[in-house]
């Protein structure tokens, strides 16, 4: 048996201050470099290089600075139950908010500021637990920066067609409480995902949806609800009630539906990005209403970008069929990472697309807040 944070009940006094963590050799630089190069960005100044790095840095078209605005941590330092001795290991979670500034050395001015958040949680005991979680949370914030459309458009020099450039979000801003993420495989309890997945019925057919709040807010595709203002929502146990379409974002193909329920089971939404070759599971109602709560399995094949709109898609070989649209894509623990949107051909051929959940939330002007 192990104890957490033994003899740490003393008062904590907080004082505000400002410090700078910089230099091309520090760990933050390495995590930034690895996060953006993994997304296909041409980042100069490889921290692994020992010589000639300064010359390489002079070729940079843009300089990026990271200002960590806020950090929240929940760290458990472990002690032996009998002796009270420190085991030298830690686990826990770290969240941070980072403001990124993109500067042009040529124009000698700031061109863009973007704020992202990063989150990392680990139940594994590690000797450098807090430090690793801190850097991994920073890497998560950098990954979110890499998917920001304004950042991509600036550094790539691309211009989205004016006719397809839509506002990033629709409707009034709303906040939903963050649901604590699952940390064990949902194979132990499949109802963890099926109870949070619904079928959306309209006069023209059906699709799927995912519950995001316990009072009945549901995300689905815009093409599932179409022009309907009212839909039927069928839960995994067959219980059916009416739902109202609150708002839609046609370009991102997402919609928000509200069902009159007070005890729904919302999905946890994963805060970290998805990785190629990660095992994933679509959940939904393919083909027939009787097939609700169907789970299939596959791996992430790629992260794609539409060349006309700049929108991102998760590509996976997991099987989906008509009726899966709007349903969740979850990781091995049952946390939502995407929303089913389309496939190639009339039937699944192993090339299917999902909207990253964070882009779906952004399009619908939904923010997650910690309880």
* Contact yes or no for 298/317 (Cβ under 8 A): yes
- In DSSP notation, 123-150 reads EEEETTHHHHHHHHHHHHHHHHHHT-HH
- The secondary structure of 75-130 as a DSSP string is EEEEEETTT--EEEEEEEEEEEEEEEEEEETTTTEEEEEEEEEEEEEEEEEETTHH
57: left (phi over 0), alpha (psi -120 to 50) or beta: alpha
Helix (H, G, I), strand (E, B) or coil at 156: helix
User: How far apart are alpha carbons 120 and 94 in whole angstroms?
Assistant: 6
Per DSSP bridges, beta strands 174-177 and 197-202 are: unpaired
Whether residue 340 contacts residue 285, with contact meaning beta carbons closer than 8 Å, is answered with no
Neighbouring CB atoms inside 10 A of 185's CB total 12
Of 215, 223, 232, 301, catalytic: 223
Q: Are 319 and 283 in contact (CB under 8 A)?
A: no
DSSP state of 178: P
Exactly one of 146, 253, 331, 362 is catalytic; name it: 253
Q: Is 249 a catalytic residue?
A: no
Active site residue 223: yes
Rg (CA), the chain: 22
Measure the CA–CA gap between 43 and 30, rounded to whole angstroms. Answer: 11
CA distance 45 to 48: 9
Q: Is 371 helix (H, G, I), strand (E, B) or coil?
A: coil
Q: How far apart are the C-alpha atoms of 58 and 45, rounded to whole Å?
A: 9
Active-site residue among 228, 236, 325, 348? 325
Task: Point out the residues that are catalytic.
Answer: 223, 253, 325
């Amino acid at each position: 048996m192990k104890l957490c944070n033994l003899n740490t009940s003393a008062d904590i006094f907080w004082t505000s201050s400002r410090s700078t963590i910089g230099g091309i050799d520090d760990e933050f630089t390495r995590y930034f470099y690895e996060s953006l190069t993994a997304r296909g960005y041409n980042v100069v100044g490889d921290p692994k290089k020992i010589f000639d790095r300064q010359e390489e840095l002079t070729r940079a078209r843009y300089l990026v600075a990271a200002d960590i605005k806020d950090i929240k941590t929940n760290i458990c330092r472990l002690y032996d139950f009998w002796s009270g001795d420190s085991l030298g290991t830690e686990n826990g979670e770290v969240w941070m908010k980072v403001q990124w500034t993109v500067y042009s050395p040529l124009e000698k001015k700031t061109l863009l500021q973007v704020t992202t958040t990063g989150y990392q949680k680990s139940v594994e005991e590690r000797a450098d637990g807090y430090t690793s979680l801190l850097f991994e949370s920073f890497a998560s914030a950098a990954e979110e920066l890499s998917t920001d459309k304004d950042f991509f458009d600036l550094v790539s020099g691309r211009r989205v067609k004016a006719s397809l450039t839509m506002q990033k979000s629709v409707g009034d801003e709303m906040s939903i409480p963050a649901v604590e993420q699952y940390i064990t495989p949902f194979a132990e309890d499949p109802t963890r995902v099926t109870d949070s997945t619904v079928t959306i019925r309209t006069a023209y057919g059906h699709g799927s949806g995912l519950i995001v709040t316990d009072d009945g807010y549901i995300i689905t595709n815009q093409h599932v609800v179409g022009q309907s203002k009212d839909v039927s929502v069928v839960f995994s146990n067959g219980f059916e009630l009416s739902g109202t379409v609150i708002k839609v974002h046609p370009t991102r193909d997402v919609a928000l539906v509200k069902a009159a329920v007070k005890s729904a089971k919302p999905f946890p939404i994963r805060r970290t990005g998805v990785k190629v070759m990660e095992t994933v599971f679509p959940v939904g109602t393919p083909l027939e209403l009787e097939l609700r709560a169907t789970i299939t399995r596959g791996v992430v094949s790629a992260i794609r970008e539409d060349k006309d709109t700049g929108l991102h898609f998760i590509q996976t070989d997991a099987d989906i069929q008509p009726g899966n649209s709007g349903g969740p894509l979850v990781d091995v623990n049952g946390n939502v990472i995407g929303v089913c949107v389309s496939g190639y051909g009339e039937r699944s051929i192993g090339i299917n697309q999902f909207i990253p959940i964070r882009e779906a939330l952004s399009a619908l002007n939904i923010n997650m807040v910690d309880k």
